A = this chain, B = another copy of it.
Amino acid sequence: MNKKNMPTRLYLTEDETPKYWYNLRADMKEQHAPFLHPGTKQPCTENDLTPVFCKELVSQELNFTDRLIEIPEGLSAFYKSTRPSPLIRARFLEKALNTPAEIYYKHEGNNTSGSHKLNSAAAQAYYAKQEGLTSLTTETGAGQWGTALAMACAFFGVDLTVYMVKVSSQQKPYRKAVIETFGAKLIPSPSDTTEIGRSILKSDPNTGGSLGCAISEAIETSMKTPKCRYVLGSVLDHVLLHQSIIGQECKAAFDKYEIKPDIIIGCAGGGSNLGGLIAPFIGDKIHGRSNARFIAVEPASCPSLTRGRFAYDFGDTGRTTPLLKMYTLGNGFIPSPNHAGGLRYHGMSPIISKLYADGYIEARSEIQTEVFKAASMFAKVEGILPAPESSHAIKAAIDEAVKCRETGEKKTILFGLTGTGYFDMSAYISYNDGSMSDKIPSEQDLQAGFDTLPVV
């Protein structure tokens, strides 16, 4: 195809759409350290994980060797309703930046859940149904994951209970309403439905709750309910596997149009989007077939890769999960309350952490006013109001494109637009009216977080 006639949106027909997830661990020369049982400090076995997670998910979690894993047909049928997601040439952004760089973005927000989270939510609900489970539990903070899972459970016919951090459910009544419209049961956490909830309420009746507490309540309920499991929306390897559909579609479209990306950029909270976006590209890098750069962008207020420690830590602030070797600020780290967007997780996917430790991925952090500045510019020229999370990637993509303007290099940049910001307007309001501020953790703040790291 003549490069001049390249379309603005790179199409894949249903026939061309990938049928496999990409298990990037199969490309890694060395695997991340094993999860440890929090009691014994020994590597977790399949038997440790199956009481909590679906069987197939445990099997995916522990599969380090199969590079391609087939997407089951019943799930493909659901994916077809929103996928392939648009892969768009940011022609207007390029023009506004006057850059010779070619910028592409993969738009994962074109579904009612508003984010990429649906890719794994659908897979997890599908497997739950296949395995004869009748219900699932989960937690949600800002609400993206809860919304995605509610959609998926409505579709596959699985009951869902969502523990939503109480203060979030009060601040975001519309998120709550979407989740309930999809038929899920939403319980503000802490609640009187669990032992841990009751005990927290007893000691602090007015607490607004925390993600750690919501996770603990969701796990407790799943353990007590027959044919029920707990599910998680990020961090774990099987979640990154499901998210690899993002990268698989990008790779298929780039191959079809003979495009080779030079820089691939993703925002990083728990790492699910970034891991999914880069999955099929990372092998080429590891095996020396590509010089592409991979950039993880995190908020300066929660900088696990750029200022954290590479250590074993709990996955939750409630200190109940297996121990994961990852870049972490410590399970007790809490970002400053003025931090507006998502990406508040104290740790980072073990896969992303290992790739970063081994030098395959770069990382940088951005302050939120700069992130919203990039978001507003992007909205104006490309016509999509991005989620604050996604806007971290936009900021880095703009910076790289501006560098190209300065050097004259015609690089090809791909970034992940993980979602839309329609339910984050209070953050945009504070940016628009100038009341948004930046706060970066001090060395003391970091030390306080590190002090909560477990001794392994």
Q: How many copies does the complex hold?
A: 2
Whether B428 contacts A111 by the Cβ 8 Å rule is no
Cβ of A126 to closest chain B Cβ, rounded Å: 13
Identify which of B151, B385, B429 contacts A383 (C-beta below 8 A).
B151
The reply to whether the CB of A44 lies closer than 8 angstroms to some CB of chain B is no
Interface positions, chain A 1-22, Cβ under 8 Å from B, are 7-9, 11, 13-14
Q: Which chain B residues lie closer than 8 Å to A173 at the CB level?
A: 425, 429
For the complex, what is the distance from the CA of A420 to the CA of B385, rounded to whole Å? 14
Instruction: Find chain B residues with CB under 8 A from A174 CB.
Output: 422, 425-426, 429
A420-B112 contact, Cβ under 8 Å, with A383-B151, A428-B181: yes
Alpha-carbon distance between A385 and B11 when the two chains are bound, in angstroms = 25
> Residues of B contacting A192 with CB < 8 Å?
none
Interface residues on A, range: 35 or more
Residues of B within 8 A of A183 (CB): 380
A111 B384 Cβ-Cβ under 8 A: yes
Q: A374 to nearest B CB, angstroms? A: 13
Do A383 and B432 touch (CB < 8 A)? no
Is the C-beta of A436 less than 8 angstroms from some C-beta in chain B?
no
Residue-wise, chain A 402-435 has the 8 Å CB interface mask toward B (1 for contact) of 0000000000000000001011011011001000
Q: Which residues of B contact A62 (CB under 8 A)?
A: none
By a CB distance below 8 angstroms, the chain B residues around A182 are 379-380
Identify which of B9, B92, B432 contacts A180 (C-beta below 8 A).
B432
Chain A interface (Cβ < 8 Å from any Cβ of B):
7-9, 11, 13-14, 77-78, 80-82, 88, 91-92, 110-112, 114, 118, 151, 154-155, 173-174, 177-178, 180-183, 376, 379-385, 420, 422-423, 425-426, 428-429, 432
Pairs A–B under 8 Å by Cβ, sample size 8? A8-B80, A11-B13, A78-B383, A82-B383, A151-B383, A174-B422, A174-B426, A177-B429
